[in-house]
Amino acid sequence: MDASATVKSLLALMLLTALVNGGEVLQAADVSEQKDSDGTNGAETLAMIVESIERNYAPIETLQASIEQLSITPAVEKREVKQAKLAGGGRAEVTVTPVSIQRSDVVLVNDDWRSTLYDRVGDNWSLVQEANRVGDVWTFFYYQSDFAQIKFTHHLGGMMPHDPRDFGSQDMKVGLLNHLQQMKVVVARELESPTGSPLITVTFARQHDLVEQWTFDPAMNHLPTKRQNSLANGNLISEIEIDYQEIMPGVWFLRDSSTRFFNTEGPILGADAREWTQLISRRVIGEVLVNKDVGEDALTIEFGASTRIVDQTRP
């Protein structure tokens, strides 16, 4: 895969969030036990980060939150509704617009989740999609097409995460913690934030012409606050920044995030990056309800009598 194709695939993930198409998932190498130049063991640092993130989310048995998403794509001139083919023979409508606003109502039950997606046009909200994951089974219901897919994890193509706990990862099939554990650390260093508090920055080995650099905040149980993807020549092609709120004593959850994409001639890593090609910002709106009764059917998706269902989990 060349750099141009890689960038296009990254952009496609964001533009087609609601789709479930086939695609290759980039598999990274295992974490190795190499030492950094300053004597820090990068693999041990990464293992500590992963364990800390796991501990952060462990007290959450149930959670309910609404997340508003604003997408800006300057290259798109007008709003268009396009038909896209789905695996299994179905079709879904994809709305392409210079500016879009969506809302996702998310329910988490332990490691599983359900997401209900709405699209805003003017002052009106319309139901677009429901999705859930229960164990290794994923369901996607496209309301406008009256079409549903049920599949195992290995059937999934590249899609941005629905679960806010996985924000930072670019593929919900892999998830945040699995992604980190699959990567090979090149260097892990401690640095100071603008406020003087310590942060940890981790640079991972080059994969498919991409270099990943992450920043984790020990003050928030080592949750990721920034991820930058750059080419080997240093050109930045994507960046996500994440902020969190304390929802229980010592437990942090998403407050907001901002993702920017750049072309292959984008700014050098670390430079002032203004000429982005797409901006996607998310923020939690309203109250986050933690460990409240959500009911036995909280993760259930109901289909209509006429809904066409493609179930790939059946023999």
User: What residues have CB less than 8 Å from 249, skipping those under 6 apart?
Assistant: none
What is the DSSP code string of 17-61?
A: TT-----PPPPPPPP--PBPTTS-BHHHHHHHHHHHHHHHHTT-S
Q: Give the C-alpha separation, 253 to 166, whole Å.
A: 11
Statement: residue 189 has pLDDT above 50? yes
Q: What is the pLDDT of residues 236-285, one digit of tens each?
A: 889 999 999 999 999 999 999 999 998 876 555 555 556 788 999 999 99
Cβ count within 10 A of residue 44: 14
pLDDT score, position 88? 57
What was the pLDDT predicted at 201? 93
Helix (H) or strand (E) holding 178: helix 176-182
Q: Do residues 40 and 291 lie in contact, with contact meaning Cβ atoms separated by under 8 Å?
A: no
* Rounded-to-10 torsion of CA 54, 55, 57, 58: 110
What is the pLDDT confidence band of residue 170, given thresholds at 50, 70 and 90? Answer: confident
- What average pLDDT does the segment 305-313 reach? 95
What letter does residue 220 receive in the DSSP assignment?
G
Q: Which among 58, 45, 55 has a CA at the least distance from the CA of 181?
A: 45
Given a contact cutoff of 8 angstroms between Cβ atoms, the answer to whether 235 and 266 are in contact is yes
Res 266: pLDDT? 57
Please count the structural domains in the chain.
1
CA-to-CA distance for 51 and 34, rounded, in angstroms? 19
Contacts of 144 (CB under 8 A, 6+ apart): 92, 93, 128
Tokens of 142: 């496209």
Q: What is the mean pLDDT of the chain?
A: 82
Distance between CA atoms of 53 and 62, rounded to whole angstroms? 17
What is the distance between the alpha carbons of residues 73 and 12, in angstroms, rounded to a whole number?
12
pLDDT higher for 69 or 210? 69
55 is in which domain, residue-wise? 3-311
Q: Write down the pLDDT at residue 177.
A: 94
The DSSP bridge pattern shows strands 251-261 and 236-248 to be antiparallel
Q: How far is CA 294 from CA 26, 61, 109, 289, 304, in A?
A: 35, 10, 8, 10, 23
Residue 224: Cβ-neighbour burial (10 angstroms; 0-12, 13-18, 19+) = buried
What number of other Cβ atoms are within 10 A of residue 291's Cβ? Answer: 12
Q: What is the pLDDT of residues 234-244, one digit of tens each?
A: 888 899 999 99
Burial classification of residue 85, based on how many CB atoms lie within 10 Å of its CB (0-12 exposed, 13-18 middle, 19 or more buried):
exposed
CATH code, 292 = 2.50.20.10
Q: Provide mean pLDDT across the span 222-230.
A: 95
- What's the mean pLDDT in 191-206? 86
Three-state helix/strand/coil letters over 138-163: EEEEECCCCEEEEEEHHHCCCCCCCC
6-51 residue pLDDT tens: 444 443 443 333 333 333 222 222 333 344 444 357 899 999 999 9
